[in-house]
Amino acid sequence: MIGENILQIKKRVSLACARSGTDPSSVVIVAVSKTRTPEEVGEAIEAGIADIGENRVQEAVSKFKALCDARYALRVQWHMVGHLQTNKAKEAVRIFGLIQSVDSLRLAAAIDAQAAAINKVQDVLLEVNVSGEQSKYGFRQQEAAEAAKEISRLQHINIKGLMTVAPIVDIPEKTRPHFRMLKELLNEINEQNELHKLNVLSMGMSDDFEVALEEGATMVRIGRAIFGE
């Protein structure tokens, strides 16, 4: 079931990429496994998934321990996709290859300090609240470029790109303007910042990843369409 779902997702990713002229092999599919068992995550890895997303540090640590034996340790990169509390930064930098949810300067500083302590340069994405919904985490669109500038001065953080969570809507097409805004924001930041280009755009989930790919997503985060409702 999980293996079959992953095959279907890969096909749909390829078709969406064909529409936007993207190379499908450059798209990273992150299987978001919150609330799923280590066995289910193992099944996804066996079916070819190399990127696992979690939204809680504690849950991620226990799955990481269950799965990061010799079989999987080298094959899998772990992604933090949920809001990260500053006091969890220490554990987070120890297991996550990519922290996608950097949403404040304070959190960035905490990650930088914890990464420095273990001699790591932590890859991150800045989360942007493009829809401006009150309930959402993330930098506001107007503050993202300045935040990127400040955070890129930190020695133990490497900003790879931007992430957003689109609003919940009745038809996927309605998310398109939000994805387009994130892409434009990435371009703007890159124009202002000559040296270090950001090239990761993490956007699109089970219901709207095809729209996101058409708008230039390089990374999609998929939970239900892989693991079931």
Ligand X SMILES: *Cc1c(COP(=O)(O)O)cnc(C)c1O
CB of 198 to ligand X, least distance (A): 19
What is the signed CA dihedral for 167, 173, 178, 179, rounded to 10 degrees?
120
Instruction: Assess 82 for contact with ligand X (CB under 6 A).
Output: yes
Name which of 132, 79, 100 is nearest 200 in CA terms: 100
- What kind and span of H or E run contains 150? helix 141-151
For ligand X, which residue has the nearest CB? 223
Which residues have CB under 8 Å from 15's CB, separation 6+? Answer: 210
Residue pair 171/208 in contact (Cβ under 8 Å)? The answer is no
Return the beta strands (E) in 75-156 as ranges.
Answer: 77-80, 98-102, 122-129, 139-140
Cβ proximity to ligand X, 31 vs 147, nearer residue? 31
Q: Which of 205, 212, 217, 219 binds ligand X (CB under 6 A)?
A: 205
Q: Which of 13, 29, 32, 110 binds ligand X (CB under 6 A)?
A: 32
DSSP class of 152: T
Question: At residue 114, what is the residue type?
Answer: Q
Cβ proximity to ligand X, 156 vs 183, nearer residue? 183
Pick the piece of the chain touching ligand X (CB under 6 A) from 116-124, 131-139, 175-183, 218-226. 218-226
Instruction: Assess 221 for contact with ligand X (CB under 6 A).
Output: yes
Instruction: Assess 165 for contact with ligand X (CB under 6 A).
Output: yes
Instruction: Assess 138 for contact with ligand X (CB under 6 A).
Output: no
Q: How far apart are CA 93 and CA 197, in angstroms?
A: 23
Question: At residue 92, what is the residue type?
Answer: A
Residue pair 25/13 in contact (Cβ under 8 Å)? The answer is no
User: Binders of ligand X: how many residues, by CB under 6 A?
Assistant: 14
Instruction: Assess 106 for contact with ligand X (CB under 6 A).
Output: no
Pick the piece of the chain touching ligand X (CB under 6 A) from 9-17, 145-153, 191-199, 200-208. 200-208
Q: Interface mask (CB under 6 A) for ligand X, residues 34-63, using x and -?
A: x--------------------x--------
Residue ranges in contact with ligand X by CB under 6 A: 32, 34, 55, 81-82, 165, 205-207, 221-225
